[in-house]
Structure formats: C-alpha cells, structure tokens
Amino acid sequence: RSRGHTVTLFNRGKTKPGLFPDVEKLTGDRDPNKGEGLKALEGRKWDAVVDTSGYVPRVVRASAELLAPHVQHYTFVSSISVYKDLSRQGLDETATVATVEDATTEDVEEHYGALKALCEQAAEAAMPGRVFNVRPGLIVGPDDPSDRFTYWPLRVARGGEVLAPGDGVDPLQFIDAR
C-alpha cells in the first residue's frame, strides 16, 4: 500500500474482521461448495494474487481456474512439507515431492505435505507459467496457535538445561509473519 498498490482481501470475514480497515474486503469461502463460495471474486481483475490458505487441491483448483483469466500472477504459499525426504539438507524446487495414493483425499491432517504439493500442481495447471510456489518452513508470529516456535524461546528464557532436537548446528529457518 505504501507503494501505491491497491489491496483486496478475500476471506470468510469471521476472524478479526476489523483488521486492515483501509483495504477492500470481499467475503466468501475458498470452498466453492460452502456459503457464497467464490462469488465475490467473479468478474474482478487483479494484477497478482497471494494465496496463503490453500490446503485442498479441489479448492485451490476452483479459485485458480476462476481467477486465471483475470490475474497476471499467482503466488501460492505452500510448505517445506511438500518434500518427500525432509532429512536431506539443501532441498530446492527440483527435489521429489510427497505423494498420496488417493489424490482426492481431503484429510489435511494425515496428508498435509502431499496435498500441498497437489495444490501447487492445481494452481499451475490453471495458470501455466504464471504461478510462483513459495515453500517456507515455519511461519510464526502473533496469533499462531501451533506453539511450534514460541515454545522454544519461552523454554530457553526459563533457564536451566534444555533438551532440544539436533546436534546444535542443524539449520533452522523461520519467517516472522509481522
């Protein structure tokens, strides 16, 4: 916004709807089978989309196909969990991704990484050559309910001996959402 870009948010409008009062907000649901679904996006045009909440390929496919004629660029925030073998360091976009036997499953808890990989593929199929997949590790910050990161600084701050994974030189990278 500070560079003059117009920002539009699309979400269900249920969690902290008062945030970002100076941006346009469209209300709907990523799942086209729920509520008003993607109707608020119909007939609109954007230069770029940043998709931060795709977990199920069917849902990503629906929004990407709807937006494809009206969007120049699509950034999909995926996950480092897409990689089949996370024990290797230095993975890049050429590394093998996880798969799932039933590509129609929507069990995100059980098949998170493989479903994220399928979401990447669904977006690319809808917008060939216009999709950028970001595969971050931990994205943390205020309101992150997972406690995947905050546990460690809080535990270390308490002092005393701390049993931690790895050998002390293992790489760790996280993104502060702020």
pLDDT digits (tens, 9 = 90+) for 113-164: 999 999 999 999 999 999 999 999 888 888 888 888 888 888 999 999 998 8
Q: Go through the chain and tell me how many residues it has.
A: 178
User: Do 21 and 49 fall into the same domain?
Assistant: yes
Answer whether residue 3 is part of any domain.
no
Same domain, 60 and 114: yes
Strands 8-11 and 24-27: parallel
Asked if residue 40 and residue 123 are part of one domain, the reply reads: yes
Does 1 map to a domain?
no
Our count of domains for the chain comes to 2
Largest CA distance in the chain: 59
pTM as predicted: 0.88
Q: 80 and 112 in contact (C-beta within 8 Å)?
A: no
Domain housing 21: 8-136
What average pLDDT score do residues 56-82 get?
Answer: 97
What's the CA gap between 82 and 121, in Å, rounded?
A: 11
d(CA 41, CA 46): 10
pLDDT of residue 106: 97
What element of type H or E holds 111?
A: helix 108-126
Sequence letter at residue 105: T
